[in-house]
């Protein structure tokens, strides 16, 4: 569905010099510096998958999405969406993709949401049945009727995002590109958006490519991750498998009676080498390396020693796993957005 | 499949533009008053020149012809005030053009369709009242039906050239933020070289030669040449309309080329 081969995008940015004298100098001689925003990336995304495109800030995610949606032409390399090179077939591509750029509105600034939708319906030639079905869906899940006749420029960020998301889905696109879509959405709406994407993915087989700083969005919407660092793909595969590569796991529990928490902590660290125990009131947290111990071993030890009342074995969190992944690949820069 | 189907995609831009026009009705009154005032000024200025000239009407224009020329030139100016330059530069400036690139439509075509109601309402609510008013006040030349028809065709081509000129002026926003200065410059150049102030036939020879090399005279002088019947038979008609068509085609090509360059430029600006 999406094929990317050795994709490169370079920008020529004018060098700025400091101070007034610097400004005067740049007035006469302007020097340029080349920024390589996307550095020879290759990947392949099958139809019907829901992929999170992950990478540090400035890793070139938005730039890649701009090339995939046809608004930018690569410096070299190429990409195919639905078998078309988007930047060479912009209008034909536009008919088959849905796009949200969190940073920039796709709607008509001075028009209300229903007016924008009427325009989209016409320019996409959306059949009546499809249009009505989708509107019903958006009413139910995104409560778009509440946006009524307010001009888009007067909507709050969260309201505008709801409209943007709905607009990107209105014409039943085959591929969705969402670049930082859920900034400003509250918990209830995040849930609704997740439900919406999962429904169109299930019913229409829509392919989804998402970039987000919000790790909760990523884990709730996507099943696959594509992690890019310094222009190279350093992981492509299922998110649950990515999570299972975590080097550290933890078990959190509470117990009744018996020895003091400090005594339990000392005992655990002694009996299970490599673990680290943290106390939080009545709650005890055991972090253990995956290679040496399994959660099962930790649990069976605990079941024997103390009278457990509560016990949690949470899934390793994506932020930590990504940080490990970057470190393993020699990345010394910032961690990906939400994990920082 | 209906061959007009692609054009139907653009209908919301026509209706949308009409809606927002009707919201600002006072604009027509302002346009009408401005056009009427300029027409009156030009007409009285030329009359003064006329009466003081001892060797009769200049360039073979009699008073009614010259009056008609100057009045209709102002009305054509209303058809050229299609606001495409304002709209394009505003949308470039606000970054809305980038969003249009993600829609299955051509942006220049969107602007063309959106300016149709502007031209139509300007003609109806400003041009027509001004014409009627002057018809009551000053003697005008009544054209032959065939010349009126030729004028109509020529006026459409002149509106097309005006759209293309304004599109190019609007796209200047890709390279400069001072679009106001550029628009002002265009207004002056167009007013002069189109023949709106001085019929090309009355210009000094050297200036007339330059004017005929530029596209602007096809906006005012060409339609009026046909309206006043100042041509030599069918070859004359074909010459005027042919030149208008040629300039429309050339400007189309230039606009397409500039648009392509502008899209590239948009990437640099961070589309
Ligand atoms: N239009 C542009 N001109 C110059 N540099 C740009 C432009 N767009 C992006 N960049 C640079 O390219 C790099 C990647 O940007 P971007 O694709 O937005 O990253 P991400 O979305 O992964 O955070 C950044 O260093 C950014 O400053
Ligand atoms: Mg980004």
From chain A residues 5-34, the ones with a CB under 8 A of any chain B CB are: 11-12
Domain membership flag for residue B9: no
Domain membership flag for residue B257: yes
For ligand 1, which residues put their CB under 6 angstroms from it?
A 11, 13, 35, 37, 55, 57-63; B 270
pLDDT (average), residues A86-90: 92
Compute the distance between CA of residue A338 and CA of residue A319 in angstroms, rounded to an integer. Answer: 7
CB contact under 8 A, B102 and A73: no
Is pLDDT of A331 > 60? no
Token pair in block for residue B207: 């200036």
Whether residue A320 lies within 8 A of chain B, CB to CB, comes out as no
Chain Cα centroid distance, residue A44: 17
Domain membership flag for residue B93: yes
Domain count, chain B: 1
Domain membership flag for residue B139: yes
Give the minimum alpha-carbon distance from B103 to chain A in angstroms, rounded to a whole number: 5
Ligand nearest to the CA of A66: 1
Q: Whose CA is nearest to atom 11 of ligand 1?
A: A37
Is pLDDT of A340 > 60? no
Token pair in block for residue A256: 């009744």
Is pLDDT of A258 > 70? yes
Chain Cα centroid distance, residue B206: 24
Is pLDDT of A335 > 50? no
Residues B73 and B196 sit within 8 Å (Cβ to Cβ):
yes
Is pLDDT of A333 > 50? no
Residues of B with CB under 8 A from a CB of A: 5, 8-13, 16, 20, 94-96, 98-99, 101-106, 264, 266-268, 271
Residues of chain B found within 8 Å of residue A123, distances taken between Cβ atoms: 9-10, 12, 103-105
Q: Whose CA is nearest to atom 27 of ligand 1?
A: A58
Q: State the DSSP H helix or E strand holding residue B69, giving kind and residue range, or none if neither.
A: helix B63-80
At residue B145, the pLDDT reads 95
Give the minimum alpha-carbon distance from B262 to chain A in angstroms, rounded to a whole number: 12
pLDDT cut 90: percent of chain A above it: 39
Is pLDDT of A232 > 60? yes
Q: Which domain holds residue B34?
A: 22-264
At residue B57, the pLDDT reads 64
Compute the distance between CA of residue A145 and CA of residue B245 in angstroms, rounded to an integer. Answer: 49
Question: What confidence tens digit (pLDDT) does each residue in A273-301 have?
Answer: 888 898 887 788 998 888 888 888 888 88
Q: Which chain A residue shows the shortest CA-CA distance from B265?
A: A72
Token pair in block for residue B137: 């006040």
Whether residue A104 lies within 8 A of chain B, CB to CB, comes out as yes
Q: Whose CA is nearest to atom 5 of ligand 1?
A: A11
Whether residue A35 lies within 8 A of chain B, CB to CB, comes out as no
Q: Which atom of ligand 1 is nearest to the CA of A179?
A: 21
Whether residue A95 lies within 8 A of chain B, CB to CB, comes out as yes
Written as tens digits, the pLDDT of chain B (271 aa) is 566 777 889 999 999 889 888 888 788 889 899 999 999 998 888 888 777 776 666 677 888 899 999 999 999 999 999 999 999 999 888 888 888 899 999 999 999 999 999 999 999 999 999 999 999 999 999 999 999 999 999 999 999 999 999 999 999 988 888 888 999 999 999 999 999 988 998 899 999 999 999 999 999 999 999 999 999 999 999 999 999 999 999 999 999 999 988 888 776 555 4
Angle at B252 between CA B249 and CA B258, to 5 degrees: 145
B12 vs A11, A70, A118: nearest CB: A118
Q: Whose CA is nearest to atom 23 of ligand 1?
A: A58
Q: Which chain B residue shows the shortest CA-CA distance from A14?
A: B268
At residue B3, the pLDDT reads 67
Is pLDDT of A183 > 70? no
Domain membership flag for residue B132: yes
pLDDT cut 90: percent of chain B above it: 66
Domain membership flag for residue B259: yes
Q: How many residues does chain A have?
A: 340
pLDDT (average), residues A129-140: 95
Q: How confident is the model at residue A336 (pLDDT cuts 50, 70, 90)?
A: very low
Give the minimum alpha-carbon distance from A106 to chain B in angstroms, rounded to a whole number: 5
CB contact under 8 A, A104 and B99: yes
Q: How many residues does chain B have?
A: 271
Highest mean pLDDT among A69-83, A143-157, A222-236, B9-23: A69-83
Q: Which atom of ligand 1 is nearest to the CA of A13?
A: 4
Range in A3-12, A97-106, B41-50, B148-157 with the lowest mean pLDDT = B41-50
At residue A191, the pLDDT reads 85
Domain membership flag for residue B56: yes
Whether residue A321 lies within 8 A of chain B, CB to CB, comes out as no
A124 vs B96, B104, B106: nearest CB: B104
Chain Cα centroid distance, residue A108: 26
At residue A273, the pLDDT reads 85
Domain membership flag for residue B210: yes
Question: What confidence tens digit (pLDDT) does each residue in A16-35 have?
Answer: 777 777 777 777 777 888 88
Q: Whose CA is nearest to atom 18 of ligand 1?
A: A62
CB contact under 8 A, A105 and B99: yes
Q: Which atom of ligand 1 is nearest to the CA of B269?
A: 1
At residue A231, the pLDDT reads 72
At residue A131, the pLDDT reads 97
Q: Using DSSP, state whether A202 is helix, strand or coil.
A: helix
Whole-model pTM over 0.95: no
Whether residue A146 lies within 8 A of chain B, CB to CB, comes out as no
Compute the distance between CA of residue A153 and CA of residue A137 in angstroms, rounded to an integer. Answer: 24
Q: Closest Cα to residue A191, out of A199, A180, A202?
A: A199
Note the ipTM here. 0.82
Higher model confidence: residue A257 or residue B196? B196
Mutate to test the pocket of ligand 1, among A4, A11, A16, A34 (most ligand atoms within 8 A of CB): A11
CB contact under 8 A, A104 and B268: no
Give the minimum alpha-carbon distance from B127 to chain A in angstroms, rounded to a whole number: 28
Q: Closest Cα to residue A147, out of A165, A132, A131, A171?
A: A165
Q: Closest Cα to residue B166, out of B86, B261, B248?
A: B86
A71 vs B20, B96, B271: nearest CB: B271
Residues A267 and A259 sit within 8 Å (Cβ to Cβ):
yes
Question: What confidence tens digit (pLDDT) does each residue in A185-201 have?
Answer: 778 888 888 889 999 99
């Amino acid at each position: 569905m999406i094929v990317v081969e050795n994709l490169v995008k370079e920008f020529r940015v004018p060098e700025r010099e400091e101070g007034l004298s610097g400004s005067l100098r740049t007035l006469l001689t302007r020097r340029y510096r080349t920024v390589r925003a996307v550095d020879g990336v290759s990947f392949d995304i099958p139809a019907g998958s829901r992929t999170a495109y992950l990478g540090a800030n400035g890793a070139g995610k938005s730039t890649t999405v701009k090339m995939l949606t046809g608004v930018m032409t690569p410096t070299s390399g190429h990409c195919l969406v639905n078998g078309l090179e988007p930047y060479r077939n912009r209008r034909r591509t536009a008919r088959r993709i849905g796009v949200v750029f969190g940073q920039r509105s796709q709607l008509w600034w001075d028009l209300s949401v229903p007016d924008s939708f009427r325009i989209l319906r016409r320019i996409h030639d959306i059949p009546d049945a499809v249009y009505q079905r989708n509107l019903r869906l958006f009413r139910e899940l995104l409560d778009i009727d509440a946006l009524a006749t307010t001009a888009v420029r007067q909507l709050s960020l969260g309201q505008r995002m709801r409209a943007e998301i709905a607009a990107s889905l209105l014409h039943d696109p085959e591929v969705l590109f969402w670049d930082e879509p859920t900034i400003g959405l509250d918990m209830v709406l995040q849930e609704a958006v997740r439900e919406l994407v999962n429904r169109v993915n299930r019913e229409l087989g829509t392919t989804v490519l998402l970039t987000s700083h919000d790790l909760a969005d990523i884990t709730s919407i996507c099943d696959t991750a594509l992690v890019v660092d310094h222009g190279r793909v350093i992981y492509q595969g299922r998110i649950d498998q990515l999570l299972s590569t975590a080097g550290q796991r933890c078990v959190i529990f509470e117990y009744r009676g018996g020895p003091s928490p400090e005594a339990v902590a000392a005992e655990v660290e002694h009996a299970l080498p490599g673990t680290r125990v943290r106390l939080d009131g009545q709650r005890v947290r055991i972090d253990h390396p995956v290679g040496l111990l399994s959660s099962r071993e930790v649990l069976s030890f605990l079941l024997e020693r103390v009278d457990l009342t509560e016990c949690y074995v949470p899934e390793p969190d994506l932020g930590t796993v990504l940080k490990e992944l970057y470190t393993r690949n020699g990345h010394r820069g910032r961690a990906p957005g939400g994990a920082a | 499949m209906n061959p007009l189907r692609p054009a139907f995609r653009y209908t919301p831009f026509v209706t949308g533009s009409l809606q927002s026009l009707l919201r600002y009705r006072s604009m027509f009154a302002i346009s009408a008053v401005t056009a009427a005032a300029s027409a009156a000024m030009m007409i009285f200025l030329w009359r003064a020149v006329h009466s003081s000239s001892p060797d009769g009407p200049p360039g073979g224009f009699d008073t009614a012809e010259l009056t008609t020329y100057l009045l209709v030139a102002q009305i054509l100016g209303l058809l050229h005030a299609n606001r495409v330059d304002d709209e394009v530069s505003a949308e470039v400036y606000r970054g809305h053009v980038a969003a249009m690139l993600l829609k299955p439509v051509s942006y220049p075509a969107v602007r063309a369709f959106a300016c149709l109601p502007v031209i139509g309402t300007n003609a109806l609510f400003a041009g027509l009242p001004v014409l009627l008013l002057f018809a009551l006040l000053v003697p005008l030349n009544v054209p032959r039906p065939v010349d009126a028809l030729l004028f109509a065709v020529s006026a459409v081509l002149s509106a097309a050239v005006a759209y293309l000129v304004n599109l190019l002026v609007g796209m200047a926003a890709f390279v400069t933020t001072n679009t106001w200065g550029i628009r002002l410059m265009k207004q002056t150049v167009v007013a002069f070289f189109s023949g709106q102030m001085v019929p090309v036939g009355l210009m000094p020879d050297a200036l007339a030669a330059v004017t005929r090399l530029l596209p602007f005279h096809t906006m005012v002088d060409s339609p009026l040449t046909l309206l006043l019947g100042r041509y030599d038979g069918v070859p004359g008609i074909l010459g005027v309309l042919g030149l208008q068509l040629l300039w429309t085609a050339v400007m189309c090509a230039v606009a397409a080329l500039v648009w392509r360059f502008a899209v590239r430029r948009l990437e640099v600006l961070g589309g």
